[in-house]
């Protein structure tokens, strides 16, 4: 069986078109007919006791100056973003005589 040059070009063209069609990315409507897509998320609250954590709100950094420190405590002054302290420990998990405190002053 003899294959002509025309047949080879035609076969290559068909193959090229088939590959080009297969390589096209999937497309979706920018605005679905329903007006949106429902998304539902369930996040279980932290229930494991024994965690003491402190978080500081996003910021570009703060500059604190040591002011009034002594042998018993170091003290710093400056402006802080929102600070949140969360203690999920049960009273039984806190050793006798152990305490923590967050002390702040606004002026």
* Residue 86 within any structural domain of the chain: yes
Q: Would residue 104 count as lying in a domain?
A: no
Cβ–Cβ under 8 Å, residues 62 and 79: yes
Q: pLDDT tens, 43-80?
A: 777 666 788 888 888 888 888 889 989 988 888 888 88
The answer to whether position 10 is within a domain reads no
Q: pTM for the complete prediction?
A: 0.34
Note whether 85 and 56 are within 8 A (CB). Answer: no
**CA separation for the pair 97, 76 (Å, rounded):** 26
Question: Terminal CA-to-CA distance of the chain, rounded, Å?
Answer: 96
72 within domain boundaries: yes
**Into how many domains does the chain fold?**
1
Q: Is residue 58 part of a domain?
A: yes
On whether residue 14 sits in a domain, the answer given is: no
- Calculate the CA dihedral of residues 28, 29, 34, 39 and round it to 10 degrees: 50
Which residue range forms the structural domain that includes residue 71? 52-93
């Amino acid at each position: 069986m003899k294959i002509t040059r025309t047949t080879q070009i035609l076969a290559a063209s068909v193959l090229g078109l088939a590959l080009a069609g297969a390589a096209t990315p999937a497309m979706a409507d920018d605005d679905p007919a329903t007006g949106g897509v429902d998304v539902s998320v369930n996040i279980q609250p932290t229930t494991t006791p024994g965690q003491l954590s402190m978080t500081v709100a996003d910021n570009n950094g703060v500059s604190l100056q040591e002011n009034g420190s002594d042998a018993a405590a170091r003290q710093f002054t400056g402006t802080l973003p929102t600070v949140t302290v969360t203690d999920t420990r049960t009273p039984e998990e806190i050793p006798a005589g152990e305490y923590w405190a967050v002390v702040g002053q606004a002026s």
